[in-house]
Structure 1
Amino acid sequence: MKPLCQILSTAQMRAAEDALVQASDSVETLMERAGTGAAEWIWRMAAGRSVTVLCGPGNNGGDGYVIARALQERGLHVDVIAPIAPKTDAARTARARWAGEPVEHADNCIFVDCLFGTGLGRPIADDLLVLLRELALAHHYCIAVDLPSGVDSDNGEMLNEALPNYDLTIALGAWKFAHWLVPAMVQMGAKRLVDIGIQPGRDTARVSIPPVFKAPDRTAHKYSRGLLAVVAGEMHGAAILAAKAAQHGGAGYVKIFAGEGDDMATHPPDLVVDCGSLFNPAPDHRIDAFLVGPGLGRSAEARARLDWVLSCDLPTVCDADALVLLEPRMLEKRDCPIIVTPHAGELEVLANVFGAVGLDRAEQAIELAEGIEGVLVAKGPDTMIAAPGAPLVIMPSATSWLSTAGTGDILAGLIASRLATGMAAHDAAEQGCWLHAQSARRAGSAFSASDLNDYISDAYGEFM
């Protein structure tokens, strides 16, 4: 894992810092690295304008004193507000090196929040909360150092109401879960990371990095690139959306399978639709992966189709209605990979069926991945990917314009397409999410799900 991709809990971050201190560094040295690194980003944003730094009593406040000194040495006017005196040795040393005098009020251009950082577990006291809000309102731009004050670093929850919004958040040493999870991530603005020498840990969560694709081999043909079977149901439009996306996701052949009597007369001419032949005792031996769920319905017939698909024991993506119908018994005899792609409501349904209630979302995703013995893609503004024995992966946030009907079918088609090409299930899930996000970025604003399909090929090219 690349060091700057890992996401650490509060406990993991403390252990990592302790390891640096025991190896050769001091807390003061780490504070200097963190503060001067953060000051570099603040210097760029300030562009010669004056700065106010709010320093708390802990090491986050100590980082603030280092920042103030570094910016003053570069010629910026800096005011420091310190409502509580430093309470750690490193913070006291940083304040002494700054050698200035705090002020009670300041009205500059840039506000830097160094009140509380990683590890805060209780709401901010009322007087400090009022001060934080007033300073944020009095400045043109707001920057949070490490984390915005009032945020739980391990789950992204807001410990106080009506916390400020920030234009920039500068993470120190490693990403924290709150940087990538709602609701906290919504208030953070742009995010940057300062490297202070934290080494990669074993089994730590990580932020997904863009994949690298390649063109098909010169000798490739449609079957060698992967045949994806998309199982249709009551609402054919969803299956067609997913299949169209899959055609752009890398698979060489995408085929919709419908039951006898299903009316699939109106479908795109470049999509092959087979009515009736799928549900024979044995599937077509050329099928490399299944996608089942988009538009499947929740009838007895739909349940029978899902049961049959899972009994074939081929690599499978289950989405939408398939997640509502899924039962533990359907998975008992499977060996091939399975990927499930629930949104928040479907995640709760799975949690009830597979016994993963009473957990936060990250814990729930990990527990459910263990329960299904497969890859779970928990969709949302903070999409996360969990798999048994693998670190949790969080996708960088995509555009909020994806919050429209049908885009989940597109994602399922992309993930299934990558799976059909022979990718490992976890890799297929990540790659599908990247294609989905980049296609949406290219599509711009107020697009429909069918519009999104038009941008997948170009997005694919970005990863080659």
Structure 2
Amino acid sequence: MSVPADAPILTSDAMRAAEAACAASGTSLAELMDRAGAAVADIAWRMAAGAPILILCGPGNNGGDGYVAAALLAERGASVRVAALAPPTTDLAKAARAKWTGEIEAIDGHLLPAPVVVDSLFGVGLTRPLADELAARLSRFADKRIIAVDVPSGVEADGNEDWNPPLAADVTVALGALKPAHVLLPASQHMGRVMLAAIGIEADRTVRTLPRTISATPDAHSHKFNRGMMLVKAGPMAGAGDLAAAAGLRAGAGYVVLSGAESKSFSAIIAEDAVRYGERLEDKRLGVVVIGCGYPASDSLGADVVAALDAGKPLVLDAAAIDAALPRLRARRGGVSAILTPHEGEFARAFPGLGGSKIERAKAAASDSGAVVIYKGADTVIAAPDGRVVAAWPGSPWLATAGTGDVLAGACGAMLARGGDSFDAAVAAVGWHIAQATRIGPGLVADDLIRD
């Protein structure tokens, strides 16, 4: 599973608006369809490597892309067949159908498969699950190599619905921009390798995938304090705070203080008694406070969070510290630079009643809190109050183990401590976290993420 780095993500409505803008600027929708069909044909040609290809066409414009691809493949000499669910219903699809001069078979129980099947039945406009009868017919091809045009048929493109498509793709050709379903569970599991076809649309990049470059490196002018001084306030489960502190060092912070616990990870971590916490908050060199790791809800947590907020330092808030800080964050509406790192249960507790896709919920939470929100999970979403979003799919399944969230909080602290935009810091931390996990692979435990 993979998606292109730093790629734009558009909802189906936004995609239609982008297509309309493209047409208004002089590129016709027919030309966009020709480019889309050509991209599908190129990938099918390479995947088939001379083997027969079956293209399944629906009645709408997604089917039109399939007809264009079929005609181009036939011109190249490919062994290609076309099967249609119904005659074209749009003017664009009808014009594309006219380019195909071969036979059109019916999608029924007698349709013979081919080694490579192009799913060009339904694209981003699907508003309901496939009928059971059609799903059963399509499932007969599930063991073939499947190329999906834009999204596999039976997937709701905006990531709001959990529909189970009958044909999981080996390759999905995203047209013009990625769609939320490409990067959000459960639909993203059905996409295979996602390839972005740049068909000439100017896609808004406010919502995008994880960039390739994840963090800055020190230069000749770097020293321990301008690389970032970070304070981790430990809770009763001291190991969690130690993991966060160690992650801060490993992710690039120049100076890390662990308040209220001894460090068993690195001698370079400055371990201090909790009574010095208030004094450390007044240090002008301090770049960030990380709190909440291994620190359950309590009066002492609330007091420590309030002290950090009153100090006006940038914050990374994990677990119960999110709930403790939210009232003041909402009241200040962006007056404090903060990153929140909730997993699914913590998110639901802190931001109850939000609807829409995971991207929409993360955006709403960031707007509500005035903070950057890292909505954790296998399909992590990072959202800023100004509407910027990065979707970090795929992550690493080996991160589903105790302590990895504490490591992520520490990495956020390292990226934020050096100054700059809190959203960029959160994106860099998530990228670092995934890269570390990918490097380690099977058998990962949280402590591995902070080792060399």
Fold match (TM-score > 0.5) = yes
Secondary structure in 2 matching 1:143? strand
How far apart, CA to CA, are the structure 2 residues paired with 1:288 and 1:360?
34
Q: 1:347 to 1:206 in 2, by over 3 A?
A: same
Q: Which residue identity does 2:150 align to in structure 1?
A: D
Q: Deviations over 1:153-188 (max 9, x none)?
A: 1125333x4632211111011111111111100111
Cα shift at 1:270: 2.6
Residues 1:418 and 2:415 aligned together:
yes
Counterpart in 1 of 2:19? 17
Query: CA distance change for structure 1 residues 124 and 49 in 2, over 3 Å: closer, same or farther?
Result: same
1:424 alignment partner AA: D
The residue that corresponds to 1:119 in the other structure is 125
1:4 and 1:436 map into 2 onto residues whose CA distance is 17
Please give the per-residue CA displacement for 1:16-63, whole angstroms capped at 9, x wherever unaligned.
112222322332221110001111112111111111111000010011
1:255 paired to 2:261: no
Cα distance between partner residues in 1 of 2:28 and 2:393: 33
- With over 3 angstroms needed to count, the CA separation of the structure-2 counterparts of 1:156 and 1:441, relative to structure 1, is farther
- Displacement of 1:374 in angstroms is 1.3
* Corresponding residue for residue 198 of structure 1: 201
Deviations 1:66-119 (A, max 9, x none): 111222222221121112111111111211111111224122111111110011
Q: Is the 8 A contact 2:207 2:390 kept in 1?
A: yes
Specify which of 349, 359, 362 is matched with residue 362 of structure 1: 359
TM-score by length of 2: 0.92
Q: Structure 1 pair 299/158, CA: closer, same or farther in 2 (3 Å)? A: closer
User: Matches of 2:252 and 2:134 in 1, distance apart?
Assistant: 54
Q: Are the structure 2 counterparts of residues 330 and 59 from structure 1 closer, same or farther at C-alpha, using a change threshold of 3 Å?
A: closer
TM superposition shift of 1:200 = 3.3
Paired amino acid for 2:140: E
> How far has the Cα of 1:359 moved from its partner?
4.6
CA distance in 1, matches of 2:288, 2:402: 25
Once the two structures are TM-superposed, the CA of residue 219 in structure 1 deviates from its matched residue by 3.4
1:346 counterpart = 2:346: yes
Identity %: 40
Contact 2:329 2:369 in 1 (8 A): no
Q: Which runs of 5+ in 1 are unaligned?
A: 456-464
* Aligned AA (1:24): G
Asked if structure 2 preserves the Cα contact closer than 8 Å seen for 1:3 and 1:199, the reply is no
TM-score (norm 1): 0.90
- Alignment partner of 1:131 is 2:137: yes
Q: For 1:367, what is the secondary structure of its paired residue?
A: helix
Question: Quick check: 278-287 or 66-75, which moved more?
Answer: 278-287
Map 1:386-401 → 2, pairs under 5 A: 386-401=383-398
Q: Is the 8 A contact 2:160 2:356 kept in 1?
A: no
SS of the residue corresponding to residue 37 of structure 2 reads: helix
Which contiguous aligned blocks of 4+ residues in structure 1 show a shift greater than 6 angstroms? none
**Separation of aligned partners in 1, 2:345 and 2:5:** 34
- Distance in 1 between residues matched to 2:263 and 2:51, nearest whole Å: 65
Secondary structure of 2:167's match?
coil
The residue type equivalent to 1:144 in the other structure is: A
Gaps spanning 5+ residues in structure 2: where?
none
Deviation larger for 390-399 or 79-88: 390-399
2:337 aligned residue: 337
Secondary structure at the aligned position of 2:286 is classed as: coil
**Of the candidates 148, 173, 177, which is equivalent to residue 176 of structure 2?**
173
The answer as to whether partners of 1:230 and 1:254 remain within 8 angstroms in 2 is: yes
For 1:448 and 1:171, the matched residues in 2 are separated by 35
Residue 65 of structure 1 and its aligned partner are, at CA, apart by 0.9
**Once the 2 structures are TM-superposed, how far is the Cα of residue 282 of structure 1 from its aligned partner?**
5.5
Shift of the alpha carbon at 1:265?
7.0
Correspondence list, 1:210-289, <5 A? 210-211=212-213, 213-258=215-260, 264=262, 266=264, 268-275=266-273, 276-280=275-279, 283-289=282-288
Partner of 1:316: 315
Over the aligned positions, Cα root-mean-square deviation in angstroms equals 2.1
Q: Is the 8 A contact 1:4 1:195 kept in 2?
A: no
| Distance in 2, Cα, partners of 1:339 & 1:429 | 7
Which shows bigger deviation, 55-64 or 163-172? 163-172
The reply on whether 1:67 has 2:64 as its aligned counterpart is: no
What secondary structure, in the 3-state scheme, does the structure 2 residue paired with 1:335 have?
coil
User: For the residues of structure 2 that align with 1:442 and 1:387, how far apart are their CA atoms?
Assistant: 28
Cα 1:172–1:212 change in 2 (3 A) is same
Looking at structure 2, the residues matched to 303 and 212 of structure 1 have their Cα atoms a distance apart, in angstroms, of 33
Q: Secondary structure at the match of 1:136?
A: coil
1:24 and 1:268 mapped to 2: Cα distance?
A: 61
Structure 1 residue 214: Cα displacement: 4.3
Structure 1 pair 288–331 and aligned structure 2 pair: CA distance change class (3 A): farther
CA–CA separation in structure 2 for the residues paired with 1:204 and 1:417: 25
Residue 150 of structure 2, aligned match among 134, 141, 146: 146
Structure 1 counterpart of 2:294, which letter?
G
